[in-house]
Amino acid sequence: MLIPDFTRYSLALLEGGQIIHCAGGGGLRPLWDALEKYQGRSGLILYDKVIGLAAAMLIVRSGIIAEIHTKVASRPAEEFLEKNGMILHAAEVAANILTRDQSAVCPGEIIALGCSNTDEFMKSIREFLGISAP
């Protein structure tokens, strides 16, 4: 099994044991871009530094990820992924994902927790990321 190098990137996608995509940066944007870029594939392995509920919802909706490896997952993300039959390997599970300065719950987590359905979540997360609707 590949050990991800989170000093070089915050996210990596693997297919057949090979890295096919890696990205730096924080927040949901690198994940959003990776899921969009590889739409239509399946069975990919995702290494992502942090998995909150918003990331979990994007991953499940994409349908391309078979397994997730992360340093930290939030409890809501863990429960959501489990409910949706996803394999999650988390080194640590936290109550929620916090902002970089640890002062508040991160915006993506707040958005995801506040949405009652996928459509509402996708609309809110697109607005948050500044992505126009398709």
C-alpha 58/C-alpha 81 separation (Å) is 11
CA 2 to chain centroid, in Å, comes to 19
5-9, 62-66, 72-76: the lowest-pLDDT one: 5-9
In a domain, 23, yes or no: yes
CB 53 within 8 A of CB 77: yes
The total number of structural domains that make up the chain: 1
Is 90 exceeded by the pLDDT of residue 26?
no
pTM across the whole model: 0.94
C-alpha 122/C-alpha 58 separation (Å) is 8
What pLDDT is stored for residue 1 in this prediction?
54
In a domain, 2, yes or no: no
Instruction: Tell me the pLDDT band of 28, cut-offs 50, 70 and 90.
Output: very high
Average pLDDT, the chain: 94
Of 4 and 79, the structure prediction assigns the larger pLDDT to 79
What pLDDT is stored for residue 80 in this prediction?
97
In a domain, 5, yes or no: no
CATH number (domain holding residue 123): 3.40.140.30
In a domain, 52, yes or no: yes
Residue range(s) defining the domain that contains residue 15: 11-129
What pLDDT is stored for residue 5 in this prediction?
83
In a domain, 1, yes or no: no
In a domain, 94, yes or no: yes
Note the pLDDT tens digit of each residue in 71-119.
999 999 999 999 999 999 999 999 999 998 999 999 999 999 999 998 9
Ordered strands of the 18-23 beta sheet: 18-23, 11-15, 44-51, 65-74, 87-94
Is 80 exceeded by the pLDDT of residue 67?
yes
In a domain, 32, yes or no: yes
